[in-house]
Structure formats: structure tokens, C-alpha cells
Amino acid sequence: MQYSLGIDAGGTYTDAVIIRNSDKKVVASYKALTTYPELLTGIENAIDGLDPQYLKDIKLVSVSTTLATNTILERTGYPVGLILVGNYLVPQDTSVQEYVMVRGGHTATGAEAEALDIEAVTEFVNRVKDNVSAFAVSSYFSVRNPEHELQIKDYIIKATGMPVVCGHELSQDLGAYDRGITAYLNAQLIPIARQFIDAIVSDIERRGINAKLMMLKCDGSLINIKEAIQKPIESIFTGPAASLVGASFLSERDTCAVIDVGGTSTDVSLLYKGLPELCEDGAKVGGWNTKVKAIRMETSAMGGDSHVWVKNRNINIGPRRVIPLCVAAVQYPGFKETLKMGRTPARVELGENVQPTKFFVLTGKEPVKISSYEEEILRTIGKEPVSISDIYWRFGRPVSVEHLDYLIQKRLVQAIGFTPTDALHILDEYNEWDKEASVIGATIMSRLVQMSEQELAEHIKREVAYNMALNLMSYMLKGVEGKEIEKILRGEFFSKFRLSVPVVLLGGPVKAYVEQMQSIIDAEIILPPFAEVGNAVGALVGQGVKRIQVLIKAVYREKQRFFLVFTPGGFEEFSTHGEALKYAEHVGENLVMDYMREADMDWNDVRIDMSREDITLHEGSPVPVETKLVFMGVGTLKVGKNS
């Protein structure tokens, strides 16, 4: 019997599942807390929690992770030198530190616009090579002709041996600067991805598992580990992608909306006839516009571990994630006594970081580029949770809450606080951790809002349910103001929103919200088996998907018409549109099949669909001036003889 192992390293939990290859049934699962600042310990703990009898027969390991997304959001990627070739418009507020603009680039027809200034490239590389870990290159209209990008890449590799990422390797969309940023971010992530993947490979080998290793992309498809190392940018947003694919598999629906309630956020996405809806302009993360094709999703910073805090007697949920009180009581045995003895600040002092139920503890991450004042604050925080009052007392003078907040953002300090997870413990709807700690916290908070502990917990649960419904309807009603949607959701009307697609819920405690969701919206709400580890299932059951775009463009030279065919590898010239079309179809299908073979998909089971869009000068014109062909290949992974 052969099995597959799926792993999802999320913001709060790292989940692991084992699926039997013969009938695709989940036979084992386990949830472990995600570990920071490195994820490997959490992954090891998740695998250790599985039944070891299956591990020797694992033939496939597939992973999804938030590592790339978090690195971009926290701006902790490795330093990169960016080379922009051609006439660029670079935003004045760009945060790229090491970049240069050099002469060169091509036109829309693939012709050289200006000769490449290789001397300027050489000067820049020699100047920054000791301060960067990789280079990124983007040339004007490289999607029509990548010659200058490839020339620079060849020079840098020969001169330095350092990694180089080209814009045309990641995207065939127009937008030279955004392609450059996509290449820049990808280059930042390569060392981090290599470390992460090397660590997983070593752990798999240590356990004696001889298996194929894959990773999920942000469009819900699988890639082999070699490509994942070269293109880690494509693993941004793999958490939502994994939830979408996993929800479809577990609910046995190829069309469904998915609400994934994680520790940090709530994500909504849609699968239609087995394929996810993608965002047309590329994924946006941390203020960067990338050209990476990712699933379209609606996200809010409200999850099971969002901080619940009080200001002016108002209850706020999020946006920051904290360790729930019930979890902290298990991790730190003396914490409940510390919680009981905490001082309640004056009402005027209350804020997100000044709460009677909020505490702070070191993460163990080594500090980089912080001030001496911030180093002094760190020394007052130890390996056991301390309150803001403890920090003030140890510091000996008032402490800047802003500087403390900065240390939290840099992941040097982890916050502990009351959360929706604690509220569910009080209501006995989720009992994974220490309920007593949750009750102690609720007792303290209830005094600030003049509610009972039960009323407080019910209020928080109800707000989380409304947030789930708001996210869902905002996704479905694209372009409608969120305030208008919320007005209908919360209003007492004789009607409510009705959905024509089923809604699948994923996440640890989502079963607690099924009844409330059904009361807010009219839809088929599905809680599938293993909903709590749906992302890890999704990491395993994705398909191989490859999209290739080929463009045919009419050009005129000396009163003669020619047709240029632009592919990811360059362009070819033909005298007739028919010849160009035949070549384009041949190249597009071959590129898809080559990818499927390299990704080790079952090429006998690959389905290729082609869409065609023609642009003509006038209605009835027999020959298009431009034809765009998009090839979509979908394949299944080959896993063992009996899969």
C-alpha cells in the first residue's frame, strides 16, 4: 500500500495529513503549533504526531507554506541588485535600495530599441556584488524579445556565480517595472526557499522516506521542488490556494465558495468547474504589484487568534494575531497565576497594546538593525510572559508603546491576549486548550464592557460570523461597497442574501459557526470531514496546471506585411497568418507538454485547452492584425505504480 503526505505550514498551526493513494482517503492527520522564527520544528512536530506505520510507504510529499508571503510582508528578504533595461518610469517612493537603469530594451515588435549598455551593467555588478545575494533583471518589452535579459544573466553568472532572475521567466504580461519587481522579490526569496526546502528534504531523508517532493503554487497547481526553489515567488498565497483545492476535494464539489478561518485571517475564494478564479492583474502583497498569477480572494485580518481588545468600552477584534490565553496557559505553566495578578490599566490608558489581558514574551529571533533603546526594552522581556506593567517596572521609566509595537512587527516579541478561540472555549464549542485561562481573561475583560463572561463570548463569536459572511458577500458582489453589504447582513429585513453555489467551511473551530452562518445567509453550508486540516489536504491534491500565452502580431516593413509569433522563448517571423497560426499552436502545445514531463505529470492524462482572441482593423476583415492564443494544460501527478 502506498501513501502521500501533505503538509501546510500556516500562521498558527502546521497541519499534516496522510492520504491512501489507492482510494484517496485521509487515513491520518495531526495539527501542531507553527514555530517561529523558523518553521521546521513545527513541521517535525506535525509529522511526529502521525501514525508512524504509514511513513515508510510514503511516495509523495507536498508542501504549502506562508513563508514567502510573510517574508514579503515583513520585508525580511535577502538583499538584491535590480537591473532595469530601457526607458522606465520608477516610482519615487520605491523601497528598492540597490538598482540601476541602463540603456537597451526592445520595441513592441521585438526589434532592438537601443543597444545594451553592458559597461553600465558591469560597473553596477562590481559595485554591489559584495552587498547582495542575488540579481534581478527586467528589460523593456522582454516578453517580446528576452535577448538583453539573457545577455545580462549570462554575464553575471560567469562573473560572480550568483543567482539571477529574469522578468520574462516569471511573467509574459506587459508592464516592465512590475515584471522587474516580481523578479526582484523572487530573487530575495531564493536563499530562504532553498534553506526551507533543504530542511524539509533532510527531515524526510532522516525518516527514511523515499518520496517525490512537490510544492503548491498560489494558483492551486503543483510544481516539483526544483522549480519551487527557482520560483519561490509563486508560493505566495499558497495557504488560500491549498484551502480552495482541499475544500473541493473533501466536499466532493468542483464548484464551490470556500471560507477558510485561520489563526490570523479569514480568506474567501471560489472554485468553478475544478479551476480557481484568478486575479487578472497578478497578486498584490505587502504593497508590491506582482505579475504572479494567484487566486482571487477576499481577506480580512480576523481569525481565531485575532486580538480582542477594549477601548472606550468598545470591543475590537484584530487586526493583530496573538497567542490565545488558553494556548499560553499550556505553553507557560505559570501563566494563569500571572494573568490573575495582572493590573487593570486606567480607562484612558487602554489601547491595543495596553490591556489587562495582554502579555509579551521573546520569540528567540536574533535582533537585526534595532536601536539601543529597543535593545533595552528587549532585555526587560524574558522567556516567560510579562505584562506592560511588568515592563514599566523593570524598565524603571515610561516605555514607548510605539517601540514595543515595532519589536512585535519585527517578530522579536510575541504578544499574548484574549481571542475568539478563547471565546469558543468559554462557550464549550472548542476545547483544545486550557479553558480556565480563557475564563479568567473573560472575567477581567467583562468588567471593562459591563457584560457577563457568557455575553462577551457570544458577542465575539457573533462578530466573527458576521465578518465571515461579509467577506463572502464582498467576494461575490464585486464592486459593491462593503458598508452596503454589511447594512443588509445586519439589518432586520424579510429577506437575506442567497447563494447559488455551496459554501465550504475550513479551519480548526469552524463547526462552531455553521448554525450562525446559515441564519445570516441563505446558502448550502458544508462542513466537510477533516475540515480542520483542509489546507494540508489541498497541498496534496492539486493538479499540474500550466498556462502559456502566444501572440501573433502583424507588422509592416517596406510596404510588405509579415506576422511575428511571440513565445516565452523569443519570436519568429512568417509571411502569412496561416503559417504563423500553425506554428503558434504547435509551440504552445509543445511548451505545455514539456512542462508536464518536467513536472513528472502523467502526460498520457494531460488535457490542453486553447482559447483564441482576434483583433481586426474592421468588421469582416479576413486577417487579424493581432491574435492571442492562451494554452491551458491540466495534468495529474504520477505517484507510484498503484496510484
Which grid cell sits at 391? 515592563
**What's the pLDDT at 127?**
94
pLDDT digits (tens, 9 = 90+) for 106-161: 988 888 899 999 999 999 999 999 888 889 999 998 888 889 999 999 999 999 99
d(CA 54, CA 599): 25
Q: Which residues of the chain have pLDDT under 50?
A: 641-643
Bridge-based pairing state of the strands 25-33 and 13-20: antiparallel
Q: Left, alpha or beta for 68 (phi > 0: left; psi -120 to 50: alpha)?
A: alpha
Could you read off the pLDDT of 101-118 as tens digits, one per residue? Answer: 999 999 888 888 999 999
Residues 597-632: pLDDT tens digits? 777 677 667 888 899 998 887 776 788 888 999 898
Q: Coil, helix or strand for 560?
A: strand
Give dist(CA 240, CA 258) in Å, integer: 9
Q: What is the pLDDT of residue 424?
A: 96
What integer pLDDT is reported at residue 577 of this predicted model? 93
Angle at 370 between CA 369 and CA 376, to 5 degrees: 150
Q: Is 119 exposed, middle or buried (0-12, 13-18, 19+ CB in 10 A)?
A: exposed
Cβ pair 54, 18 in contact under 8 A = yes
Q: Could you give the angle at the alpha carbon of 114 between the alpha carbons of 108 and 118, nearest 5°?
A: 125
CA neighbor of 24 nearest in space, from 3, 46, 8, 53:
3
Quick one: which H or E segment has residue 550? strand 544-557
Cα 464 from Cα 324, distance rounded (Å): 16
The residue length of the chain stands at 643
Provide φ and ψ at 390, rounded to 5°: -60, -40
Which residues have a Cβ under 8 Å from the Cβ of 98 and sit 6 or more positions away? 79, 80, 81, 82, 128, 131, 132
